[in-house]
């Protein structure tokens, strides 16, 4: 029973729960960015480049094992067992990564500036203490000897 108790303590630590929440939110956020890239950005980029559809940009490396049904699209060739170099898909995923990395960078930057803003101001340096009495006497003797 000791091992179960130890596991329960480990699982209930704040950092483990925070990590789990972060992974779940990150996965959901990743889906949002995927949709942003696939459904909004890539159609605009395709339109700029004259109706280019990046998901259909590929090079056939090996002919399909089975006959292709319909047009030779990425999906139909993949189903037929063709070996494809899907560089268009890679470009889409690369844009997805760049957007996601930029958004995370901006979020971390905002959190760091918020932490700096809420951090207490450093305490002012303490005033120098008055010199001890023996130091004052030694100074008086020194000053009288200078005369």
* Residue 139, in any domain of the structure: no
Domain range for 60 is 8-115
How far apart (Å, rounded) are the C-alpha atoms in residues 43 and 37? 9
10-residue stretch averages of pLDDT, the chain, 147 residues long:
79 75 86 85 82 81 84 85 88 84 86 81 77 86 86
DSSP 8-state code for residue 125: P
Give the burial class of 54: count Cβ atoms within 10 A of its Cβ; 0-12 exposed, 13-18 middle, 19 or more buried.
buried
Query: Residue 103 falls within a domain, yes or no?
Result: yes
Number of domains in the chain: 1
| 90 lies in some domain | yes
Which CATH number do you get for residue 20?
1.10.1200.120
Cβ atoms 92, 55 nearer than 8 A = yes
The reported pTM is 0.54
């Amino acid at each position: 029973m000791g091992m179960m108790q130890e596991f329960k303590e480990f699982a209930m630590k704040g950092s483990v729960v925070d990590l789990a929440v972060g992974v779940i939110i990150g996965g959901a956020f990743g889906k949002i960015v995927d949709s942003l890239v696939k459904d909004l950005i890539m159609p605009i980029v395709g339109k700029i480049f004259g109706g280019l559809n990046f998901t259909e940009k590929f090079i056939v490396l090996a002919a399909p094992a089975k006959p292709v049904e319909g047009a030779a699209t990425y999906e139909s060739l993949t189903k037929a067992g063709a070996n494809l170099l899907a560089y268009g898909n890679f470009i889409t995923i690369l844009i997805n990564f760049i957007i996601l990395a930029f958004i995370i960078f901006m979020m971390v930057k905002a959190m760091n500036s918020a932490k700096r803003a809420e951090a207490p101001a450093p305490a002012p340096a303490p005033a120098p203490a008055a010199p001890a009495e023996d130091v004052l006497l030694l100074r008086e003797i020194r000053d009288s000897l200078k005369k």
